[in-house]
Amino acid sequence: MVAVFKRELIQVIPNPPNERTFTLSTVTDKGHYISLRPLVKPTTEEEKKFPFEWGFGGRNTSVEIINVNSNSFKQNFVFELDLNEYLQIPNTHSGLINTLWTTWDSGCLEETGELFPFGKNKESVAFRELWQPIDPSKSVDFDHLTLKDGDDAHNGSKETSVALHIDNDTFVGLVVVAGNILQGILFKKNDNTIKGTNFIRGIIASEEKKEFTYSIKYGEDVTSFPLDLFTKHDSIKVGDVISQWKVIESNL
């Protein structure tokens, strides 16, 4: 199921809820996923230099979904690409993350879970997030995303669903296209600093041209992403290699 979710709030319990980011999580039909969390109003010099709360993603082999009932499911992650781990930030959770997702009557999804930043046998940190489903096939502007609500939120889009993966001597990364929305993460190996970190986020504003308008193009190696994915390639098939990126899913 192709899906895009916009985060509306995060709460690190017992602190009050807040939201400082424009977080979008994108998921392909086969379950490859990326979540990018850029800050809306970076304030400190450090934030202005690197305006991201977090970013992570992975192929479908790194996530497990278990249905609980008609309104909830468990989602267990082991992130393949984790900004915090890449930057070797102290007190970063490592390994499996267990979450529970519950659908509200409005169609929004509440995610709850625990992190263990100090080690699996140490004190946990509970969190709560609220997600608004977005219609990825109708959205053509990041300032005016088309929302899903009510029963419509349960229906996944069968629109464009593409994923590309790279893992060579220099880079490891993932690009996910869900409907009209593209997100990408690219890390330079053996760097582990913000200089080795690259993010993109784009949207197709014109179905005829199939060109992405990018709201995020961050990083010294951002041109290593397949930025003109659809304009330069008429057909994209699983197994194709595009600028060193291997196509692992393609449903156009």
Residue 88's CB: how many other CB atoms inside 10 A?
A: 9
Rounded to whole angstroms, how far apart are CA atoms 63 and 212?
A: 28
Average pLDDT, integer, range 198-219: 91
DSSP 170-227: SEEEEEEEETTEEEEEEEETTT-SGGGEEEEEEEEEETTTTEEEEEEEESTTGGGS-T
Task: Report pLDDT for 97.
Answer: 87
pLDDT at 209 (0 to 100): 66
Range with the poorest average pLDDT among 54-58, 152-156, 227-231: 152-156
The pLDDT assigned to 156 comes to 47
Which among 176, 210, 185, 178 has a CA at the least distance from the CA of 1? Answer: 178
The pLDDT value given to residue 152: 52
Structure tokens belonging to residue 15: 């602190």
Cα angle vertex 145, ends 130, 22, to 5°? 50
Residue 90: band (very low, low, confident or very high) from pLDDT cuts 50, 70, 90? confident
The average confidence (pLDDT) of the chain is: 92
For residue 200, count other CB atoms closer than 10 A to its CB: 24
- Over residues 60-89, the pLDDT tens digits come to 999 999 999 999 999 999 899 999 999 999
pLDDT band per the 50, 70, 90 thresholds, residue 154:
very low
Percent of the chain with pLDDT over 70: 94
Residue 219, φ and ψ in degrees, nearest 5: 125, 155
- pTM (predicted TM-score): 0.93
Return all residues near 188 (Cβ < 8 A) that are at least 6 apart.
170, 171, 195, 196, 197, 198, 221
Greatest distance between any 2 Cα atoms in the chain: 54
- The answer to whether residue 139 scores a pLDDT higher than 70 is yes
Q: Report which DSSP code applies to 74.
A: E
Domains and CATH numbers, the chain: 3-144 (2.40.128.320), 161-251 (2.40.128.310)
Residue 234 reports pLDDT greater than 90? no
**Would the pLDDT of 121 be above 90?**
no
Mean pLDDT across 113-134: 86
Q: Is the pLDDT of residue 94 over 90?
A: no
The predicted model gives 127-155 an average pLDDT of 83
Q: How confident is the model at residue 149 (pLDDT cuts 50, 70, 90)?
A: low
The answer to whether residue 92 scores a pLDDT higher than 90 is no
